[in-house]
Chains A and B, each alone.
Chain A
């Protein structure tokens, strides 16, 4: 549904996006993750048909953003971090205005449907200036959906929302995926990405540095393990070093030691490590495989990408 092919975008001498390629299919949520200024907003604006790529091509619903920008805009719904509403209008006037701009033939029933979905029917004739931040963001999402676009571009949609509203927004986004829309979620909120996205594209300094399924990225890298022991610290260090295991971290407290290590060959190295610990008279309380969060994976990937 969205296909970004080797897209570069320059503003004067500054390159905001460099050779980016990724795909978002129907019924899929893809998180475009990256720090501030990484190129996420530029990518979403190119896909939305607001900016033309300097090089490369973006295809939305089979249409080129270069050749058919207006048709592409008609197929996209864009939500930005700021609700960006005409605050002197009522919600009804605002949605009707955008419905007309998007050539919606009978806006009335569509608006009724949307305000029901967003739980806003009570404020349909209230001026937008009187809305709370969360309600304004809901109004912005309703605007983006007014023409029933097959593609939804969400650029930091949960910025400044309280946790309850963020949860509501998440549920809404997931329900929109169920309607077979292709959803690109630009965010630096890893928790949000981890909870709802099917795939993650990590962008840093305008370049795509990793792409994959959310679970795949979390489990990528060397598996790490944590053991809780009652033992002498020096003896433990000596034992693990003798077994060829590199300690990532060791903390002591309440008469216990917590040792962390990572290995590419757990079957071989963990057996050796445990044998060495037992030989050093360590009492083993527990040994666990550590679960890597998307945040850990993201930070590791960004760090790796910035290494010369």
Chain B
């Protein structure tokens, strides 16, 4: 499967510099640090624990945003795209390889982040309470939501970054998307106790639709003709 060969290179490329590793560690550590530093309530409400669990799951998606921004623009800038397009690989394999390369590390980071949060929260609020609030189903749902978000954000950033002229511009796009994620998370955190089930289902459907549209667009932009025309 050539998509996996491409994905492997993408992952190695992303994590071959120290800043990526530091960024990933920081994103994992952030929600843990927040609950450890928050000493205002000895027994906080369940929503509080859930909000930070949501952040722990979703923040690693930020690594996908950065990686997606770099995947097309960096190759264009370094002119490494032509040899890749000259290889006997189908367009769909290129798109799949790029997406797997962007998604897989972010998904792994998300699950590691959730598990680390689980351990840290158990230590802070008691294992029994955390086992009740963050039961395996909830944890899995949070992880599923995170994967959908990674796919959606990664695909959209890839779509936009395919159309910008430089890696710097792509990183600026990534920065804007990241800011949007932070605003979205803050908004969700503030209303998490009052969100109805219908609203949650609607949100998940919206993310799914967004994923499908972004994937279609990404595939069109990674068509050889389109890609070469933009070199």
Contact = CB atoms under 8 A, between A and B. Distances in A.
A20 interface: no
A71 B88 contact: yes
Nearest to A52: B225
A97 B5 contact: yes
B87 A86 contact: no
A88 B83 contact: no
Contact of A70 (B79, B88, B225): B88
Size bracket, chain A contacts: 20 to 34
A165 B79 CA distance: 22
A74 B225 contact: no
Given A70-B90, A73-B86, A51 B79 contact: no
A222 B84 CA distance: 47
B229 A101 contact: no
A48 B80 contact: no
Contacts, number: 66
Contact of A11 (B13, B90, B229): B229
B78 interface: yes
A78 B86 CA distance: 7
Interface string A55-95: 00000000000000011011010101010111111000000
B89 interface: yes
A80 B85 CA distance: 12
A73 B80 contact: no
A86 B13 contact: yes
Contacts of A119: none
Query: How many interface residues does chain B have, given as a range?
Result: 20 to 34
Contact of A73 (B6, B9, B79, B88): B88
A80 B82 contact: yes
B23 interface: no
B2 interface: yes
Contacts of B13: 86, 88
B88 A85 contact: no
B124 interface: no
Given A50-B228, A84-B78, A84-B79, A76 B86 contact: yes
Contacts of A82: 79
* Across the A-B interface, the 7 shortest Cβ-Cβ residue pairs: A74-B88, A73-B88, A78-B86, A101-B87, A84-B79, A70-B88, A82-B79
13 contacts: A48-B86, A50-B224, A50-B228, A74-B88, A78-B86, A84-B80, A84-B81, A88-B16, A97-B5, A97-B9, A101-B84, A101-B87, A102-B87
Interface of B: 2, 5-6, 9, 12-13, 16, 78-90, 224-225, 228-229
